[in-house]
Structures are given as C-alpha cells and as structure tokens.
Amino acid sequence: MPTIRPELPEDYPAVFEIHRRAFGRPEEAKLVEKLRTVADPQISLVAVCEGDVVGHIFFSPVTIEGQPSSFQALGLAPMAVVPELQNQGIGSLLVKKGIKVAHSMGENIVVVLGHAEYYPRFGFKVASRIGLCCEFPASDEAFMVIELEPRALRGRSGIVKYLPEFSAV
C-alpha cells in the first residue's frame, strides 16, 4: 500500500523521472521544477511504494478573473504515476490527499484540466456548467472544478488563468 507524504528536496530527481516517463516527454517535469520556485501557495505530494517515489501531484494558484472581482483558487497540475504502477489506485490516493490538504489550508475551489473520465470520481464537475472557462483551448468536459465548501463559487464566474509557467507547456 503506497503512502502519500509531502515532497522533499531529495525526491526531486525521482519526481522529474516520474513525469518524464509518464508523459513521454520532459515538459511537465520541467514545469514542476519551475513551479516549485514560484507557486505560492503550493502543494506537492509524492506517493511512496516500498521506499520508491512512484507518483507525484502538484497544486498551484490560479486566478479566476471574473465579475464582480477576481479571486484565487488552486489548480491541480501536473500529476503522474510511473507507467508500470498505473491503474492501481495510486493516482486516486494522490488526488484525494491533495484535496484534503488544500481544504485544510483554507482553499475552497480546485480546478483541473485533464482526463474528463477520471476526475469526476473525486467530485470534479464540468466547470463551464458553473460559469468557469479555461484560458487554454480545451474541450468543455476536460476543464473541471470542485468546490470544497458548499457554494464556494456562489455563482461567481470568470476565466481561469494559470501561472505564466504553464503557457510554455
């Protein structure tokens, strides 16, 4: 059974390799390196299996530019699990723990741009149905949001802007 814990500096090389291998390219791994230095607040968790770091999840701030005012939320991205251990529930443990940590930090809204069939199982809903859209081109179903407190969005709508580092990926 994997354990989930906060990422430590000595995990950085393993985390780089997890993203590089899971995504089949280095861009997401490099994005994590940049986000660690600029994202505030940030959540960075790893999954550890028999002493090996095998999964990673990161959350960074997003700004929801809306009416009547802009407000901040968290964006889940990127996350990855080593290819040989995917589909064994490790990603789910990372998402659930990440959401729990976000809530304990006082965050009430988390967005994700990702697999439309995967994130709804954790409570994410199609964001456009509650008035949020993503600055990046994506299908409607791929951009999702979860409210960690009832009515956290309170009918507020707007465009979700990620940190500039995401634009390079």
Ligand X SMILES: CC(C)(COP(=O)(O)OP(=O)(O)OC[C@H]1O[C@@H](n2cnc3c(N)ncnc32)[C@H](O)[C@@H]1OP(=O)(O)O)[C@@H](O)C(=O)NCCC(=O)NCCS
Give the interface with ligand X as residue ranges (CB under 6 A).
Answer: 22-23, 78-81, 86-92, 114-115, 117-118
List 80's β-bridge partners, or say none: 56
Asked if the bond preceding 61 is cis, omega within 30° of 0, the reply is no
Q: Which is nearer to ligand X, 75 or 156 (CB)?
A: 75
Instruction: Find the shortest distance in angstroms from Cβ 151 to ligand X.
Output: 26
Structure tokens at 169: 């990926």
Least distance (Å) from ligand X to the CB of residue 67? 29
> Which residue's Cβ lies closest to ligand X?
91
Q: 19 is written with which tokens?
A: 């993203």
Nearer to ligand X, 61 or 89 (CB): 89
Nearest distance from residue 125's CB to ligand X, in Å?
Answer: 16
Q: Which is nearer to ligand X, 23 or 71 (CB)?
A: 23
CA dihedral 108, 165, 112, 90 (to 10 degrees): -100
Structural Rg of the chain based on CA atoms: 15
Pick 22 or 39: Cβ nearer ligand X? 22
CA angle 7, 147, 138 (to 5 degrees): 80
Q: Is 82:44 a contact under the CB 8 Å cutoff?
A: no
To ligand X, the closest distance from the beta carbon of 92 in angstroms equals: 3
* DSSP count for the chain of H helices, then E strands: 3, 9
Q: How far is the CB of 145 from ligand X (least distance, A)?
A: 14
- Residue with Cβ nearer ligand X (99 or 156): 99
